[in-house]
Amino acid sequence: MILVTGGAGFIGSNFVLDWLAQCDEPVINLDALTYAGNLENLASLQGDPRHIFVKGNIGDFDLVAKLLTDYKLRAVVNFAAESHVDRSIHGPEDFIQTNIVGTFHLLEALRARWGSLEGEAKAAFRFLHVSTDEVYGSLEKDDPAFAETHRYEPNSPYSASKAASDHLVRAYHHTYGLPVLTTNCSNNYGPYHFPEKLIPLVMLNALAGKPLPIYGDGQQIRDWLYVKDHCSAIRCVLEAGRVGEVYNIGGWNEKPNLEVVHTLCAILDELRPRADGKPYKEQITYVKDRPGHDRRYAIDAGKIERELGWKPAETFESGIRKTVRWYLDNQAWVQNVASGAYLNWVGKNYGERQ
């Protein structure tokens, strides 16, 4: 069995669904169910004995230790994290507690369990820590993409907390020998994405006739990775990655935010045109940029392709069309997620930037 932490969040739930679609190895799913954790993402697994959900926090040493022992887990994949830059600017403490302190307690539980194993079970045990390209900082337009050797230069409380967690994971490997793997991914998109992030926020606002807020000039560049491609890469690293190594996972899809929004508007014009016949791009509005906004991220995913044979299956064009169709076909999920608390957050974050 494997343990997936943060398995009710966006990427984590996609990974759990993908894992159980690919194999019958059971999953223990540990999630604290904060605002972005949503069991509705996993509704299709209700009654499936291969999926065991446990509500809890990675910072709970006793709980994690009990799960590791009781279920004789062979691997842990850690998605649990506070992950929204804007939220980290408004309130960084939760990011410090979950991403740094929580990771520390998780590592301590793993170290204790791994130290008690013997023989083949000890040799086969793995801890895969899922991180982000944001730990590397920001690139100029013509800079080469982030490789695994790029130095860490985090620029937000979120990315700084993730950088700290990466360093802890590295240290536990080099100091204690814990068999770790780290992945740093680019911007994910796809089904079950919480609608505070750019792509689902734009779709939600577009269909509701609301403004489509663009930070600054909209020319911030990101590399876009379809979430199901990310899941396949993590499976690949978990199966064959070299212990102690870092693997960057990207989609080879650098796009300015404004281009992404224009693409979304064009697809919606085709699939769900406005009643008045006008284009959705008329709803675009520019708001004050957020503090310290990184200008460009780009992932060089050459290492994982060379060593493990992985590369993304989706182009941005194919992945974004699948994403729009999923949101249009799952409006009940969207409405359930878009709670009063979420709407209050959007008003707070974007209202003050008008």
Angle, helices 316-329/198-207, rounded to nearest 10 degrees: 50
pLDDT of residue 349: 43
Q: Is residue 272 part of a domain?
A: no
β-strands 212-215, 180-185 pairing: unpaired
Which amino acid belongs to residue 304?
I
Q: Rounded to whole angstroms, what are the CA distances from 314 to 116, 126, 180, 202, 225?
A: 42, 28, 28, 21, 8
pLDDT tens digits, one per residue of 237-279? 999 999 999 999 999 999 999 999 999 999 999 999 999 999 9
List the Cα angle 40/53/56 in 5-degree steps. 100
Does residue 158 carry a catalytic annotation?
Answer: yes
Q: Output the six-digit token pair for 238.
A: 């978990």
Cα dist. 228→60, 190, 245, 269, 320 in Å? 29, 8, 22, 25, 12
Of these residues, 158, 172, 215, 327, which one is catalytic? 158
- Would you state the pLDDT for residue 312? 98
pLDDT value of residue 105: 98
Q: Which domain holds residue 25?
A: 2-189+227-252+295-314
Task: Find tokens 């939760």 and name the residue.
Answer: 94
pLDDT of residue 178: 98
Residue 285 lies in a domain: no
- For helices 257-271 and 316-329, give the axis angle rounded to 10 degrees: 50
Instruction: Tell whether 284 is covered by a domain.
Output: no
Of 82, 133, 223, 314, which residue is the catalytic one? 133
In a domain, 39, yes or no: yes
pLDDT value at position 339?
64
| Residue 68: CATH number of its domain | 3.40.50.720
Does 212 fall in a domain?
Answer: no
In this structure, is residue 274 part of a structural domain?
Answer: no
What pLDDT is attached to residue 290? 73
Catalytic residue among 31, 82, 86, 134: 134
The number of C-alpha atoms within 13 Å of 348 and in the hemisphere containing its C-beta is 12
Q: What is the pLDDT at residue 345?
A: 39
What pLDDT score does 293 carry? 84
So what's the pLDDT on residue 87? 76
Spatial distance between the Cα atoms of 186 and 343, rounded to a whole number of angstroms: 26
The pTM of the full predicted model, rounded to 2 decimals, is 0.93
Please give the tally of structural domains in the chain.
Answer: 1
Give the model's pLDDT for residue 351.
52
CB 143 within 8 Å of CB 195: no
pLDDT, one tens digit per residue, over 52-109 is 999 999 999 999 999 999 999 999 999 999 876 667 687 889 899 999 999 999 999 9
* Predicted pLDDT of residue 310: 98
| Dist. CA 259–CA 220, nearest whole Å | 10
At residue 353, the pLDDT reads: 39
Q: How far, in Å, are 87, 248, 343 from residue 242 at the CA level?
A: 34, 13, 43
Q: Would residue 99 count as lying in a domain?
A: yes
Residues of the chain falling short of pLDDT 50: 340, 342-343, 345-347, 349-350, 353-354
216, two tokens: 């600054």
Q: Decide if 203 is inside a domain.
A: no
Classify residue 185 as exposed, middle or buried by CB count within 10 Å of its CB (0-12, 13-18, 19+): buried
